[in-house]
Structure 1
Amino acid sequence: MSDTPATGGRAGTDEGLLGIGAAARRFGLAESALRYWERCGLLRPAVRKSRWRLYGADELHRIGLIQLWRETGLMSLDEIAKILDHQHDWRHAVASRIDAIEEQQRRLAAAKSHLEHLLTCPDDDPAAHCPVLRDMTAGRSADVTRRETA
C-alpha cells in the first residue's frame, strides 16, 4: 500500500490529513475501493498534493458513512450518492430501501419457519410424506392457477 507524507512517510507533514493508504487501513478497506468511490463521485480528497490524495476529518467521516451504509443498509452506491449529495429524492431512496429490507425480512421469516418445521417433522422423509408441506405446495399451485386465470 502507498503511504504519504501525512502518515510519516517520505517528505513533509500535513497536520490532520491521512493519505489513501492510511485512510483505507483505518477502515479496513482496500485503497482501490477509495479510488473507485472517488471515480463514482462519492468521495473527494481534501487535498491533492503532488500525486498524493490526502483525506481530512470530513472525508474520513464520509468514508465511514459509505462503509456503514454499504454494510448495514445494503445500499447501492447510487442510493448512497443520493443521500450524500442531498439529491431531492434521497428520502424516497431510503424509504424504498426500507421497504425492500422489510420484504426480505418477511421472506427470511417464512424460510426460517419452513426450515424449523422440517427439523420437527416426525416423518423420516418429510419432503415426500409431510402433510404440512403437502398443504403448502398445494396452496402454491392454487395461487399460480388463480393468477393464470385472472
Structure 2
Amino acid sequence: MGSGNDGLTPIRDVADHFGLPLSTLHYWERRELVAPTRRAGQRWYDTEQLYRVALIKQWRTTGLIGVEHIAEMLGDGPGRREAVPELIAECERRRAELDEALDYLNRLHACR
C-alpha cells in the first residue's frame, strides 16, 4: 500500500488495498469508526487507522457484527463490556450451526 514519507496512506490506496468502495470508508468515518487525517481536503490514514479498517472489514465480512456493535467495541464506553460477551455467544451459536451444516454436507457427499 502506498504511503507518503509521513507514514500516511491516501484513501484511494486504502480502498484499493482492502477492496472497499470509497463510500464505505466515508460511511465508517461518519459513524466515527475511523478518523482519517485531512490534508488539502483529502483523507489520509495512519497505521492505527489502517488497523481499524482491517478489523472493521473482518467483522463486517462475517455479516454478524453490525456497525452499532462495532462502534461499541471500538469505543471506551460501558457498551463494550456488554457487547463483547453477547457477540461471543452469537459467534459460538453460528459456528455450531455451520458445523452441523458441514457435517450434513460431508455425509451427503459420501453417500452414493
For the aligned residue pairs, the C-alpha RMSD in angstroms reads 2.7
Bigger relative contact order, structure 1 or 2 (CA pairs below 8 A, ≥6 apart): 2
The percentage of aligned residue pairs carrying the same residue is 35
The equivalent residue for 1:34 is 25
Residues 76-115 of structure 1: matches in 2 within 5 Å? 76-113=66-103
Q: Does 2:47 match 1:57?
A: yes
**Aligned with 2:34 (options 27, 34, 43):** 43
In the alignment, the residues of structure 2 paired with residue 97 and residue 75 of structure 1 have an alpha-carbon distance, to the nearest angstrom, of: 8
* Distance verdict in 2 for CA 1:72–1:108, change over 3 Å: closer
Please state how far the C-alpha of 1:84 moved relative to its aligned partner.
0.9
For structure 1, list consecutive stretches of 5 or more residues without a partner in the other structure: 1-5, 8-12, 123-150
In the alignment, the residues of structure 2 paired with residue 61 and residue 112 of structure 1 have an alpha-carbon distance, to the nearest angstrom, of: 32
Deviation per CA, 1:3-51, whole angstroms, max 9, x where unpaired?
Answer: xxx85xxxxx6621111101112222221111110111111112x1221
* Distance verdict in 2 for CA 1:112–1:21, change over 3 Å: closer
Residues 122-141 of structure 1: matches in 2 within 5 Å? none
In the alignment, the residues of structure 2 paired with residue 92 and residue 23 of structure 1 have an alpha-carbon distance, to the nearest angstrom, of: 31
In the alignment, the residues of structure 2 paired with residue 17 and residue 60 of structure 1 have an alpha-carbon distance, to the nearest angstrom, of: 10
Q: Secondary structure at the match of 1:42?
A: coil
TM-score (normalizing by structure 2): 0.77
Larger radius of gyration: 1
* Distance verdict in 2 for CA 1:118–1:23, change over 3 Å: closer
TM-score (normalizing by structure 1): 0.60
Q: Secondary structure at the match of 2:32?
A: coil
How many pairs are equivalent? 110
Deviation per CA, 1:112-150, whole angstroms, max 9, x where unpaired?
Answer: 455536964x9xxxxxxxxxxxxxxxxxxxxxxxxxxxx
